A and B are shown apart, each in its own frame.
Chain A
Amino acid sequence: MALAKRIIPCLDVTAGRVVKGVNFVNLRDAGDPVEIARRYDDQGADELTFLDITASSDDRDLILHIIEAVAAQVFIPLTVGGGVRQPNDVLRLLNAGADKVSINTSAVTNPQLVKDCSARFGSQCIVVAIDAKQTVWGATPKWQVFTHGGRRATGLDAVEWGKKMQDLGAGEILLTSMDRDGAKIGFDLNLTRAFSDALDIPIIASGGVGNLQHLVDGVVKGGADAVLAASIFHFGEYTVEQAKQTMAEQGIEVRL
């Protein structure tokens, strides 16, 4: 009897469609968003994350329709991220039915946004997404924050940045290893552990999941509170249910 570790499938959305692809190329329509969300809900997903990868800001509002449709049918927490720049963007996503909004690049360009949004909407709905790349190896490794989908270096130390985001009111950190993203060789466990040891708020590990043992490692070795994965679920390699059984067999508390 204890708080369960969470499994969070992540869905990419572009121009109002849920798509699947590898590293943003060869995107294919993944099907009806409500059906996909319901399928993951049926499999026991603890939350869902929608990441808007729309290139053109003109088309970005289209995700609101998806969130509205999903929120009317699927009753688990929904997080939405991508292109959030101002409090009004957060408000519109929450009003569409999102429970949490994830802020990434704009947290770096305007940290006050995190403070303003957590004060106005509550820390519980403000997730700060951090894309980190390792820059120092050896006994005291370090990671740097990258923005703009991992293309732009910021010079910020990732762990220090995470603490600052916690102090500004973030309720949770979505932590992605850019080194591991898409590589399917497992989470960067040192990065995950550095965050989970340094911060008091929950950490969602992301980037690099290729099999179910990677999810277990993220929790047991990395100390993550939740694990996020995309491709292993989308391409039908594993179900969320299988993932939870694997975690449960290794002594991890999960919601079955």
Chain B
Amino acid sequence: MTVDIAVIDYGMGNLHSVAKALEHVAKGARVAVTDDAKTILAAGRVVFPGQGAAPDCMREIDARGLREVVKQAASEKPFLGICMGLQVLFEHSDEGDTPCLGIFPGQVKRFVQARMTDAQGRRLKVPHMGWNNVRQPRPHPLWAGIPDGERFYFVHSYFVVPAQADLVAGYADYPAEFVCACARDNLFAVQFHPEKSASAGLRLLANFVSWNGKPA
């Protein structure tokens, strides 16, 4: 059976929340949490989530033979990366010195604890965990109806550094500015967790579910 939305399951973390949130915003849609290449490539749209560490993610993607499947899906249909599903789209992660998928040019770096102080000089913790403001440097169909500066839920210790400025679709500050959303063609990927970001997150997922895969 062809599914409307395939959530790629590569054994990294809790995909239940992502699937439930998609079902919540896409009433009646067929959502499958799957590692089956055929199901993923036949789906109308694909969500690429993930938690944990980059080396484990890449190892599991390869163990399940999903590297080329992810690349193909990312080249041809509406595709949403979440958290680790943003990071491993890049060329390389400093986490475990891990070569990644190389779909986006750029690197993944860690927050440097020594530089983590806020405006009052108080120490900021790593992981960056909680609700932070997301700036939208440009409009995108997935930002529709979401105010610029809206808060989303983050939990991560690494962040992406794209090699092309035109990939950037969102920024947050912790304490320095970092890129928390990237977009190109049919791809949109975010560092935060829309499935855990209450109404703003559900709106972003709803926008994805109705997105035609065009950047504007």
In the complex, are the beta carbons of A76 and B14 less than 8 A apart?
A: no
Contact A226 B132 (CB under 8 A): no
- Residue pairs across A and B with Cβ atoms less than 8 A apart, 20 shown, are A1-B135, A2-B118, A3-B124, A3-B154, A3-B174, A4-B130, A4-B151, A6-B131, A46-B153, A72-B20, A75-B202, A76-B196, A76-B198, A123-B157, A124-B127, A124-B156, A125-B13, A172-B127, A201-B127, A255-B131
The segment out of A91-99, A136-144, A155-163 that lies at the interface is A91-99
Tell me if A179 is interfacial: C-beta within 8 Å of chain B: no
A200 touches B126 (CB 8 A): yes
Q: Say yes or no: is A122 at the interface (Cβ < 8 Å to chain B).
A: yes
Task: Report yes or no: A172 in contact with B16, Cβ–Cβ below 8 A.
Answer: no
Q: Which residue of A lies closest to B119 (CB)?
A: A2
Given the known A-B contacts A122-B51, A122-B52, A122-B53, are A171 and B13 also in contact in the complex, defined by CB atoms under 8 Å?
no
| CA distance in complex: A95, B14 (Å) | 6
> A16-72: which have CB < 8 Å to B?
41, 46, 71-72
Question: B-contacting residues of A (Cβ < 8 Å)?
Answer: 1-6, 41, 46, 71-73, 75-77, 94-99, 121-125, 171-172, 196-197, 199-203, 223, 225-226, 255
Tally of chain B residues near chain A (CB < 8 A): 45
A77 near B196 (CB under 8 angstroms)? yes
* Contact (Cβ within 8 A) B130 A6: yes
Which residues in window 97-128 of B have CB below 8 A to A?
113, 118-119, 122-128
The one of A72, A73, A96, A200 that contacts B125, using a Cβ cutoff of 8 Å? A200
- Identify whether the interface residues of A are mostly helix, strand, loop, or mixed: loop
Q: Would you call B127 and A71 a contact (CB within 8 A)?
A: no
Total residue contacts A-B, CB cutoff 8 A? 114
Chain A residue nearest in CB terms to B113: A200
Partner of A94, one of B14, B21, B198: B14
Neighbouring B residues of A72 by C-beta, 8 Å: 20, 23-24
Contact B13 A46 (CB under 8 A): no
Q: CA separation between A255 and B16, bound complex, in Å?
A: 25
B79-105 vs A, CB cutoff 8 Å, 1 = contact: the mask equals 000000000000000000000000000
Question: In the assembly, what is the distance between CA of A196 and CA of B122, in Å?
Answer: 10
Residue B186 interfacial (CB < 8 Å): no
Chain A: minimal CB distance from B146 (Å): 14
Q: A41–B199 Cα gap in the complex (Å)?
A: 10
State A76–B118 Cα separation when bound (angstroms). Answer: 25
Taking CB atoms and an 8 Å cut-off, the chain B residues in 15-71 that contact chain A are 16-17, 20-21, 23-24, 51-53
Rounded to whole angstroms, the CA-CA distance of A201 and B130 in the bound complex is: 12
Task: Tell me the complex Cα distance, A72–B31, Å.
Answer: 14
B126: chain A residues within 8 A (beta carbon): 200-201
Contacts of A255 in B (CB 8 A): 131, 151
